Amino acid sequence: MSLTHAPRPLRSVLIANRGEIACRVMRTARRLGLRTIAVYSDADANALHVREADEAVRLGPAPARESYLDIDKVIAAAQRSGADAIHPGYGFLSENADFVAACEAASIIFVGPPASAIAAMGDKASAKTRMFKAGVPLVPGYHDEAQEDELLREKAGKIGYPVLLKASAGGGGKGMRVVESDREFQAALDGCRRESRAAFGDERMLIEKYLTQPRHVEVQVFCDSQGNGVYLFERDCSVQRRHQKVLEEAPAPNLPPALRQQMGDAAVRAAQEIGYVGAGTVEFLLDAASEPVSNTETREAAPFYFMEMNTRLQVEHPVTEMITGEDLVEWQLRVAAGLPLPKAQEELTLTGHAIEARLYAEDPDNDFLPATGTLERFGLDLKAGDLAPDRVRLDSGVEAGDDISMHYDPMLAKLIVHGEDRGQALAEMDRALAALDISGVTTNRRFLQRLVTHPDFIAARLDTRFIEHHHDELF
Ligand code: ADP
């Protein structure tokens, strides 16, 4: 069905982002026959996303707050170029309720949820209150309004150490601290509050039981404006560094089908509770034993707990696309045009296994310091890696000859592979990483290779402290 005959005709879309995600969104928009409009800062005047768009509008100087984060400038660019819709990508303005309201005021379609749904999930404490009401399981903890130091300390003692202090307004792993004992509590609280005040201008805290070996398993949900909601299975993103994802895979290894369904249902319930529309991700902690379970059919359901909902398309959405064969950006654009979800739950199937590795311009041997320079070579040699083109994907926002600057996130690209099973996908990823043809800028490729060939990763002995626990073997 054409998007021009949709209830809210869509002929053009402005992508309020840069890098790989801007390019990725444009690829689908183009395929659907939409006119694509890029925006850029001075640092990105010659960037790939600008070169690939039908039209490009300058926002301002390099700093994000004067360009990609400037709501007025983005709206003005959309108006000037006559864009019907704005796709925010991830990061920047994608989860900014004020930006959604500004789009509404300017009669521009925001490709994403309503402002009210973003606001409902934007604050971790109020999100947990809503989720509790919807019957979604929560990590044991405290997330009420009263914030006196002594009260929080008392709550932490009741929850039982170790606990995790989290900034209610937090995100991106900031404003979070593990507290091992009552003795450390006050200092940790002061530190967390300071950090949160500086990063978010807010010092409200919540406390959670700190799970020592959880897995991070998140469910991809999708809702349309007719009230339908589905889940497109889950991703395991347990391999993290400083609470930031490094490898992601779908489906989650050794997840019993009954548990998959339970988590999927809970995620759809979470989304519907807040009147969600579009693509969203409900993140859970899975408190599973670290030993892999061979007989997945008979395993007792392990407990899973709601952590937060990300109200946008995730960086790691391609692994879901690989195992479902669906194009999530197409789904987003259709839903934004007022069309119903393309498929019902029972029409969605899961095939094979997909893994994504995030390729960063950074130096793992130098505390992951971001690297800069000119990319002399950049590409993937399919032949050298013995890789089938339909089973591997390199989503990137750069090309050979590009300058990698310090201004933005140092992620260069995402490498995604799809195999018949996890073993095959892992072997493909190993070959694909070796077949990356990069020079000129230091990357984390070697680190990624060590990760995907680590015996414990191959055996799916996953938990969120995987990198920390295997530090000596990975560096
Ligand atoms: P942010 O919004 O800053 O990303 P999250 O609440 O999503 O913070 O948590 C980020 C990561 O921190 C999770 O993926 C997980 O690895 C870890 N984490 C969060 N809550 C807990 C918890 N209660 N116990 C153990 N680890 C946790």
Q: What ipTM was reported for this prediction?
A: 0.97
Backbone angles phi, psi at 395, to 5 degrees: -90, 110
Which token pair is 355?
């893994």
Q: Which of 24, 215, 235, 312 is catalytic?
A: 312
**DSSP for 42-101, written as a single string:** GGGTT-HHHHHSSEEEEEESSSGGGTTT-HHHHHHHHHHHT-SEEE--SSTTTT-HHHHH
Residue 464 CB less than 6 A away from ligand 1:
yes
Residue 356 CB less than 6 A away from ligand 1:
no
312 has catalytic annotation = yes
Identify the pLDDT of residue 173.
78
Residue 283 CB less than 6 A away from ligand 1:
yes
The DSSP call for residue 397 is: S
Residue type, 81: S
Cα→Cα distances 56→210, 290, 431, Å: 46, 49, 37
Query: Model's pTM, two decimal places?
Result: 0.94
Q: Mean pLDDT in runs of 10 for the chain (475 residues)?
A: 89 98 98 98 97 98 97 98 98 97 98 97 93 92 96 96 95 89 97 94 95 96 98 98 94 96 97 98 82 41 84 98 98 98 98 98 96 97 96 97 94 98 98 98 98 98 96 92
Which token pair is 309?
């909902």
What is the spatial distance between Cα 330 and Cα 242, in angstroms, rounded to a whole number?
32
Which token pair is 135?
């019957």
Shortest-distance Cα residue to atom 21 of ligand 1:
210
Residue 208 CB less than 6 A away from ligand 1:
yes
CB atoms within 10 A of CB 436: 23
What is the spatial distance between Cα 15 and Cα 2, in angstroms, rounded to a whole number?
20
The CA 14 to ligand 1 mean position distance, Å, reads: 32
The burial class, CB within 10 Å (0-12 / 13-18 / 19+), for 430 is: middle
The CA 244 to ligand 1 mean position distance, Å, reads: 9
Identify the pLDDT of residue 302.
52
What is the spatial distance between Cα 119 and Cα 141, in angstroms, rounded to a whole number?
22
What is the spatial distance between Cα 263 and Cα 275, in angstroms, rounded to a whole number?
19
